[in-house]
Structure 1
């Protein structure tokens, strides 16, 4: 028989799963607390027992998505780098691919909604700030040849902003891929030493 702590953890996980699925399927506007409760099979009282507000729930969804994205990114980069010869380009392309997936695209939509929702903005800031620090640390670990580059943090910020913009944009798939390749070129130009004169 499950303990009370195990039941609480299971309910919390079900609510987070339901909220994430709703964000992917229905967007921010369609993700109501009633919709989440229906998907999770719990009462509204159970939801508010775990999360004091819808904004707190959505912030927790973003935090969990960030955790999963970092784990997935490291695994993919490790696999690709074992056979590839373009670690910097692969790092940027994989960063884009992770953010182009439905789960992360839905999280990015939360940041757009937070422009006019101060409570949501606060919850997102609370998970985004440590996430940004962690991702920069992962970049240094996975790309040790660039770890001490004086421009790494600025280039990382630029790349993240560009990837978020492309992920939220309305361009077609071919144009989106072209923009990511342009970003690869820009990142390489900023971080790689210039070619010696011929």
Structure 2
């Protein structure tokens, strides 16, 4: 005799609905951009009503902020899983930078770009995104500290170096689908590694 299927609890149903809404928001931001990510579009992708969305999130900005927090969590996990340290050679540095470019070109990071660009001219959205932005930065700083543990870098210099790397990675991520070939990206990664390696040894 077969056991009856387990019925999800109210908490489980709530978590499942929120997960669908966040997945739908991230996918919409990646495919349709910030302007195209309305609550109606998110609900259509998630297969839930707008009433259900607003039971969990008080506003569109709140949904976007929750999606940003989820992106930060996913990217942090991916960074920890794929980027290992400490770096001990220029070849290892080049490999790490290549992994960062791959992460930078991911759908999650494209979502992050959409939200950061929108927040530039939207003070309320920027405030909503602040906790996720700070969490993401902490993850990246922790990862960078592990990568460069073999070098005598003070925290100020480490932050500056991380900002340079992120700027290059984000720039490549934006340019890859538009103007950059795989060869262009590989050459840029080679050049960045060659420029960074003597700086790390100073």
TM-score under structure 2 length normalisation: 0.83
Structure 1 residue 85, shift from structure 2 partner: 7.4
Offset from partner CA, 1:62-97 (integer Å, 9 cap, x none): 21112111212222224x99xx97332222221121
- Any residues of structure 2 matched to 1:13-52 within 5 Å, and which? 13-52=19-58
Match of 1:8 in 2: 14
Please give the secondary structure, in 2, of the residue aligned with 1:124: helix
Higher relative contact order (CA 8 A, sep 6+): 2
Alignment root-mean-square deviation, CA: 2.2
Q: Distance in 1 between matches of 2:194 and 2:30?
A: 31
CA contact (8 A) 2:90 2:194 kept: no
Q: Which moved more, 1:163-172 or 1:6-15?
A: 163-172
Per the TM alignment, residue 181 of structure 1 is displaced from its structure 2 partner at its CA by 2.8
Aligned counterpart for 2:129 among listed residues 114, 124, 133: 124
The reply on whether 1:105 has 2:114 as its aligned counterpart is no
Residue 60 of structure 1 pairs with residue 69 of structure 2: no
Displacement of 1:182 in angstroms is: 2.5
Q: 1: distance between equivalents of 2:92 and 2:184? A: 23
User: Does 2:174 correspond to 1:168?
Assistant: yes
Contact in 1 for aligned 2:144/2:158 (Cα 8 Å): no
Q: 1:177 to 1:105 in 2, by over 3 A?
A: farther
Corresponding residue to 2:201 among 185, 192, 195: 192
Change (3 A) 1:118 1:177: farther
* TM-score under structure 1 length normalisation: 0.85
Tell me, what secondary structure is at the counterpart of 1:30? coil
Offset of residue 129 of structure 1: 1.3
Query: 2: distance between equivalents of 1:103 and 1:145?
Result: 30
